[in-house]
Amino acid sequence: MKKKLFTSTIGKLLVIVTVLMNVFVCSVSAKNVSVGVHLDKTFNSTISASNADITSASYAFTNKWGITLVPTSMWATTGGSIAPINLCTASAASNCSCGSVCINATTSNIHHKNIWKNYYSLTGNYPTIGWGLLMGRSSSPMCGVWNSTHGYGYGGVGGVKAKYTYVTNVFSAIVNIRIIQHELSHNFGCYDNGSGSNCTPGNMCIMRGSYDNIPITQTPYIWCANCVKYFDVNAH
């Protein structure tokens, strides 16, 4: 009698587990999101290497959300439009000091390496028709103005639920990919820690740089519990 009761209990547990697994699988439907990647003249790698970086960044998106990022990298000269950074006379490895005042707008040619200026140029010159997302990539240090303060060392920018990002490729291989994951997370609804939302205390999270020194394949889940709430799988 006890054995029969035990078997019955196991059977019920298996049913519950199966139902939960089905709910989980159904909530993470596989989908592809195309990513057009525009490389400016400073980009110091190849088109195939750029595609490989986006594919590596896709690892966590695929494992957690069923989203596979499908990249197509190209040099940013199509349609006669070029990124402001392409006009800079400073070497690729140097900070830009063209002009005296840096502003986050395309209305001025000064500070060609302002990351917002290049982001706005991307959004203004390259339509998203035919793409899920569009990204600009540079292998030069970028500057910008945040809270009225000018500074250097910006890694990337991306709009919350927007279709555009602009990222640099000047750090270690792992950090460069983490920057891509961070900015693309903005595109899917996540905020920076302390800006619009706070990461869950005690949780590691891509939105506050927790994984910068951890190999990509060791981290299939990179969002804290709070950022998971904001992540919108259907944003794109």
Kindly list the strands in the beta sheet with 164-168, ordered across the sheet, starting from the edge strand earlier in the chain. 67-75, 31-39, 133-138, 164-168, 156-158
User: CA-CA distances (angstroms) from residue 109 to 16, 84, 103, 118?
Assistant: 62, 7, 9, 11
pLDDT of 100 reads: 65
The continuous run of DSSP H or E covering 20 comes out as helix 2-27
* Block residue for tokens 């950022």: 227
CB atoms within 10 A of CB 180: 28
pLDDT digits (tens, 9 = 90+) for 209-235: 999 999 999 999 999 999 999 999 999
Q: What is the pTM of this model?
A: 0.84
CB atoms within 10 A of CB 216: 19
Residue 196, Ramachandran bin (φ over 0: left; ψ between -120 and 50: alpha; else beta): left
Mean pLDDT value across residues 63-90: 83
Reported residue count of the chain is 236
Three-state DSSP state, 70: strand
User: CA-CA distances (angstroms) from residue 39 to 106, 137, 165?
Assistant: 18, 5, 12
Least confident of 100-104, 114-118, 169-173, 192-196: 100-104
Please give the distance of CA 131 from its chain centroid, rounded to a whole number.
Answer: 15
pLDDT of 71 reads: 98
pLDDT of 5 reads: 34
DSSP 97-123: --SS---SSTT--S-TTBHHHHHHHHH
User: What is the set of domains in the chain, with CATH numbers?
Assistant: 31-235 (3.40.390.10)
66 neighbors 29 (Cβ within 8 angstroms): yes
Which percentage of the chain shows pLDDT scores above 90?
59
How does residue 197 score in pLDDT terms, banded at 50, 70 and 90?
A: confident
pLDDT digits (tens, 9 = 90+) for 17-42: 333 333 344 356 799 999 999 999 88
Mean pLDDT value across residues 140-146: 88
Distance CA 34, CA 67 (A): 10
